[in-house]
Structure 1
Amino acid sequence: GHVGIGTTGDPEVEALLRSRPELILKPLERWPDRLLGMFQLNAHDGPGSRDAIQRWLADGPMRGVYFPGGGPAAVTCTDRRVLPLVEQVVRLGAVIMQHTWYKTGGKQGLGESTPAELAELARRFPDHPFICAHAGGEWERGIRAIRGVSNVLVETSGFDATAGFIEMAVRELGAERIVFGSHLPSRSLGTELSKVIAANISEREKRLILGENFRRLLGVVD
C-alpha cells in the first residue's frame, strides 16, 4: 500500500494519506485475520521513509515493506540510499519484498532492479529473508541469479503461466524458497493459482508455496 511518502506520483493522494491515516488503518483493523499490511518505501525520501518505517512497522500494524521497480519511488536496490532503510527494517524483523525484472535490451528505467542485484543486497544480511518479486519475469535467469543466496525467496506472480516455472524453482531452490503471489487486481487470480496448482510437484510442496512459507516469514505458528 501507499502511506503518503511520494510513492503514487499524485500529490493530492499523498496529502490525503498523510492527513487521514485511518484510511489505511481501518481495513487492517476490520479484517486482521485476512489483511496483512505491507507498504511501499521511497528511497528518494530517506527521512520520510525512515519515519514511515517507525510509524507503520515499529509502532503500527504493518508487517513488511515493498521496494517498487517503477514509478516515482523506484530506486535500484543496490543504491546506497536503500541500505539504511533495509537495515532499519531488518532490525524490526519485517518482511522485505523487492520488485525485480529482466528486460530485453536492458533496463528501461534507472530505478529498476534485477534478481542479481537483489542477491547482492541480500548477501549483506544473510540471516534475513528477502522476497524476489516476479522472479525477475525471465524466471529461468532469475532463479539462477538467486540460487546461491539462500535467504532470497522467489514470488510467483507477474507473468503468464508457463510450463516448467514452478518445477524448476522447486528443483533449484526447494519449495521452502517460493511464495505465491496473485498480482491482483491487474492479473487473473485463476492464472496465477494455476502456476502452482497444475505444477508437477507434491501436495506438500504446493501447500508450502501457497501459504505456509509466507506464514513462516511472518512468524505465524498454527
Structure 2
Amino acid sequence: MIHPNPRTPAMPALAIPPWSPMPPPEVLAGFEIWDSYLTQSRGAALMPSLEALMPVVERFALQKLCFFADVGLGTGNAAVEKWAREHSNEIEAPLRRWPDLMLGMIQLNAGDVPASMRALDRWLRDGTMKGVYFPGSAPGGLNCTHPNFDPLVARIHELGGAIMVHTWFKTGEEAGPHGSTPADLVALAARHPRQTFICAHAGGNWELGIQAVRGSPNIVVETSGFDATAGFIEMAARELGAERILFGSHLPSRSLGTELGKVLFADIGEEEKKLILGGNFRRLLGMGR
C-alpha cells in the first residue's frame, strides 16, 4: 500500500489524494455531480434499466442524470421505434418518476428535418426536455457537417436547448456518412457561433479531439466512453480550460468508478473538478451557477 509523504502539506477538505480508494458518498456529495451522459436501455426496458441504476446513484451521490430519449424519429431499432410511437406518454416517465434526479434530451434524426422540427416543438417547446442528442451511427445518425443540421440547430437555439453530438475518431478510417468527428463538429459550430455544442466522448482519441476543438470556444468536451488514461483531464483543462469540460458516466455500459476516477484523481485543482463534475453542466443548462 502506498502511504502519503508525511511532509506533504495538508489538503483542502474535498481533496482526493491519488492513493485513495473511491471516496464515500458524503465526500462525493460535496462535488455536486451532474451526469451528462447515460446509455440506459431503450423502449420498454427504459424504466427498469433506470430503476436498476438507483443503488449506484446513491453510492456515488449523483445529483442529476441525463438520459437520451427515442421519440419515434428513426433513431432506434424497429422494436424501440414501435414502442416510442405507441407509448409516447411514457417517454417522459423518468422525469415524472424522479423529478429531482432526472434530466432528458431527445434523440434527433437529422435525416428527417420536418419530423425533427415537430419533435422539437413537442418535447422542448411544449415539453420538459432540456436539449438534443445527435447519435453517431445508423439508424438516425448523419454526419454533422450535413446542411440538414443548420435549420435544426437554429431552432434548438431559439428554444434555448442544449446540443450534444456523438463524436469519434475511428482508427484508420473516416467517420462516414452516419458518424461525426470533433473536426466535423468544429465546422458545424463555426456556422452557429452563438450555440454551445457538447462534443461527446471528446472524440474517443482525446488528444486529437482536444486539439481539434481547441480554437472553437462554443464547443465543450464530454468525458465518457473510453478507458481512463493518465493525462486526459489535465490536457483538456490546460488546452481548453476546466470550464469547457463536462462529466459523463456512460452508465450502465461503463464503470462509474472508472469514469469518475478520470476527474477525481486528475492532477487539477478542486474547484476545477467541481466545475467539470457538475458546475459546467448546470451553467450550460441555465440551471445554476
The letter of the residue matching 1:36 is L
- Give percent identity, aligned residues only: 61
Larger RCO (CA under 8 A, 6+ residues apart) = 2
State the alpha-carbon separation in 1 of the partners of residues 83 and 115 from structure 2. Answer: 15
The answer to whether the aligner puts 1:175 opposite 2:242 as a matched pair is yes
CA contact (8 A) 1:70 1:109 kept: no
- Residue 91 of structure 2 aligns to a residue whose secondary structure is helix
Deviation, structure 1 residue 108? 5.6
The answer to whether the aligner puts 1:154 opposite 2:211 as a matched pair is no
Q: Give the alignment partner of residue 116 of structure 1, picking from 180, 183, 198.
A: 183
Which residue does the alignment assign to 1:6?
A: 74
- Residue 141 of structure 2 aligns to a residue whose secondary structure is coil
Q: Give the alignment partner of residue 111 of structure 2, picking from 44, 48, 51.
A: 44
Q: Larger C-alpha radius of gyration, 1 or 2?
A: 2
Which residue does the alignment assign to 1:86?
A: 153
- Residue 89 of structure 1 aligns to a residue whose secondary structure is helix
Which residue does the alignment assign to 1:17?
A: 84
CA contact (8 A) 2:169 2:175 kept: no
- Residue 155 of structure 2 aligns to a residue whose secondary structure is helix
Q: Per-residue displacement from partner, 1:154-188 (whole Å, max 9, x unpaired)?
A: 00001000000000000000000000010112111
Q: Per-residue displacement from partner, 1:184-213 (whole Å, max 9, x unpaired)?
A: 121111110000001000000000000010
In the alignment, structure 2 segments of 5+ residues that lack a partner are 1-68
State the alpha-carbon separation in 2 of the partners of residues 109 and 118 from structure 1. Answer: 14
State the alpha-carbon separation in 2 of the partners of residues 173 and 9 from structure 1. Answer: 37
| TM-score with structure 2 setting the length | 0.74
CA contact (8 A) 1:136 1:142 kept: yes
Which residue does the alignment assign to 2:258?
A: 191
Which residue does the alignment assign to 2:162?
A: 95
State the alpha-carbon separation in 2 of the partners of residues 22 and 202 from structure 1. Answer: 44
State the alpha-carbon separation in 2 of the partners of residues 152 and 22 from structure 1. Answer: 33
Deviation, structure 1 residue 23? 1.4
Q: Give the alignment partner of residue 171 of structure 2, picking from 94, 101, 104.
A: 104
State the alpha-carbon separation in 2 of the partners of residues 179 and 71 from structure 1. Answer: 25
State the alpha-carbon separation in 2 of the partners of residues 132 and 25 from structure 1. Answer: 25
The letter of the residue matching 1:190 is G
State the alpha-carbon separation in 2 of the partners of residues 21 and 140 from structure 1. Answer: 40
CA contact (8 A) 2:135 2:166 kept: yes
Please identify runs of 4+ aligned residues in structure 1 that moved more than 6 A.
none
CA contact (8 A) 2:175 2:181 kept: no
The letter of the residue matching 2:72 is G
Deviation, structure 1 residue 66? 0.5
Bigger CA drift: 121-130 or 140-149? Answer: 121-130
Bigger CA drift: 102-111 or 62-71? Answer: 102-111
The letter of the residue matching 1:181 is G
Deviation, structure 1 residue 215? 0.3
